[in-house]
Structure 1
Amino acid sequence: MSSEETAPAAHAAPAPHGVTYRARHHRGTGPGHITPDGCSVSLYARLPAGDEPEIVAAAAPSGATLLELGSGAGRLTRPLRERGFRVTAVDESAEMLAQIDGAPTVRSTIEDLRLDERFDVVLLASFLINTADDALRDALLRTCAHHLAPGGAVLVQREGEWHRTRTTGEEWEHDGMTVRIALREPAEGGAKRTRMEYAFEDAAWSQTFVSHDLDETDFAQALHRAGLTLDAYLTDDRTWARALPR
């Protein structure tokens, strides 16, 4: 399903490969296509949805229109559509979007996205808010605010204490996959560089990325700069939050 056939009218285009902040600082290894920000399409197509669809469904109106920013291979797209949400999936990777069936798709970087349509819910998951590029963070949130329909809400997933306390060498099992933190070290500007390794019986991948701890004050200020305000934290660990227009 191509974005040209299914997507709402848009004023957006994917940035050339190699020019985004993520492309400069993120890397990935393993079989199959690796996106400019180091994500493996094959790996992301295997990842389980976890409890995220339930968190989103509990915070959004039944049957709402939902703009999913950074959808990847549809890990959340499919279960959200199964729950009755009318999802439009956005990603800068055509290879990721090719994994998604049954939902409109738009190929674009999030920061450049400007659709003509507005949505009841805008979803910014996968800890994208924790980018180590402050200007990019502001641009992501401005895109969220721009696409809200009257009465709409932005749902944001942010890194919590679980991420801050992980250290190099930790390893655990998750749904048939071995996950290992191969590297955890300080990076420029107070950020941290992490290399994650993911191993199944038949294949293995790694992803290296930089991120920035975002405490509640920093988070609230970032929302404010984009014309948003924190409405509520949706989980006890405060990794999921709902924001509303100011």
Structure 2
Amino acid sequence: MSHIAREGYEGSGPGAITPDGCAVELYLRLPAGDEPDIIERAAPAGAGVLELGCGAGRITHPLVRRGFTVTAVDESPEMLEHVHGARTVCSSIETLELDERFDVVLLASFLVHTAGPGEREGLLRSCRRHVADDGCVLIQREDPTRHENLPKEREIDGGLIRVVSSDPVHPGVRSVHVECVFPDGRWTQTFLSCPLTDEAFEHALAQEGLVVDAYLTDDRTWVRALPAKG
């Protein structure tokens, strides 16, 4: 099944492609990396987690195995078909309206850098809407060197991910093109990214009622934010 791509986003390769250019078959192959470890250290044991943009469960499944209760949200039913052990909700993040609050709201996969008009604000507003007053929001940011010295590549589980280019298309917005090559398939994705300085990032959070509690990694790519008081 195919979907109409968002403006500035496209993908190619075998299998279903989501509106933001993500290939379901590719995302099933991507390893979780150290993300579950970072989340586990930053979240209360056994917490209820709302995972926004869960994809095919790359992070969901390790969190479930570690004892977290996960509600996994994605706009792609093809992605959600592969999520198990978690409650699933098919919805865009911006329009999500669950009548409950969570100990932890998770916004991974660099979604905070989305560049469409009002989209980042909508993502962060959903985070604030669904986090408990004494809960936290865990956000993954881009490494500031991600757009430098391209092309560059890394090997993963028998495949190769290559960031081919990152070109300015609007003030503060870049179009990023990525290729993923495996022995049995090749996928591409083009998407928009809005790099954010620490100051701009913290301002964006403040506008939606969130405040940085801590940068969780030395490269400052993982952040714990709290609901602003008052």
Q: TM-score, normalised by structure 1?
A: 0.89
Matched with 1:208 is 190
Structure 2 CA distance, aligned partners of 1:44 and 1:189? 30
CA contact (8 A) 2:144 2:195 kept: no
Structure 2 CA distance, aligned partners of 1:189 and 1:162? 18
Question: How do residues 102-141 of structure 1 correspond to structure 2 at under 5 angstroms?
Answer: 102-133=85-116, 135-141=118-124
- 2:150 matched to 1:179? no
Structure 1 unaligned regions, length at least 5: 1-16
CA contact (8 A) 2:104 2:136 kept: yes
- 2:139 matched to 1:156? yes
CA contact (8 A) 2:24 2:56 kept: yes
Paired residues, number: 226
Structure 1 CA distance, aligned partners of 2:145 and 2:136? 26
RMSD: 1.2
The structure richer in strand per residue is 2
Structure 2 CA distance, aligned partners of 1:102 and 1:139? 28
Matched with 1:219 is 201
Question: How do residues 14-93 of structure 1 correspond to structure 2 at under 5 angstroms?
Answer: 18=4, 23-93=6-76
Structure 2 CA distance, aligned partners of 1:244 and 1:79? 24
* Change over 3 Å in CA distance of 1:150–1:190 after alignment to 2: closer
- 2:123 matched to 1:146? no
Structure 1 CA distance, aligned partners of 2:149 and 2:29? 23
Shift of residue 23 of structure 1? 1.2
Shift of residue 192 of structure 1? 1.0
For residue 134 of structure 2, give the secondary structure of its aligned residue in structure 1: strand
Question: How do residues 186-201 of structure 1 correspond to structure 2 at under 5 angstroms?
Answer: 186-201=168-183
Structure 2 CA distance, aligned partners of 1:75 and 1:128? 15
Structure 2 CA distance, aligned partners of 1:101 and 1:27? 27
Residue deviations 1:3-32 (CA, integer Å, cap 9, x gap) = xxxxxxxxxxxxxx64xxx71111000000
The structure richer in helix per residue is 1
For residue 104 of structure 2, give the secondary structure of its aligned residue in structure 1: strand
For residue 132 of structure 1, give the secondary structure of its aligned residue in structure 2: coil
Structure 2 CA distance, aligned partners of 1:32 and 1:106? 22
For residue 123 of structure 2, give the secondary structure of its aligned residue in structure 1: helix
* Change over 3 Å in CA distance of 1:134–1:230 after alignment to 2: farther
Shift of residue 172 of structure 1? 2.8
Structure 1 CA distance, aligned partners of 2:58 and 2:121? 25
User: Equivalent pairs: percent with the same residue?
Assistant: 55
Residue deviations 1:34-56 (CA, integer Å, cap 9, x gap) = 01110000000110000000000
- Larger CA deviation: 182-191 vs 48-57: 182-191
State the AA in 2 paired with 1:38: G
Structure 1 CA distance, aligned partners of 2:149 and 2:34? 20
Structure 1 CA distance, aligned partners of 2:127 and 2:154? 34
Q: TM-score, normalised by structure 2?
A: 0.95
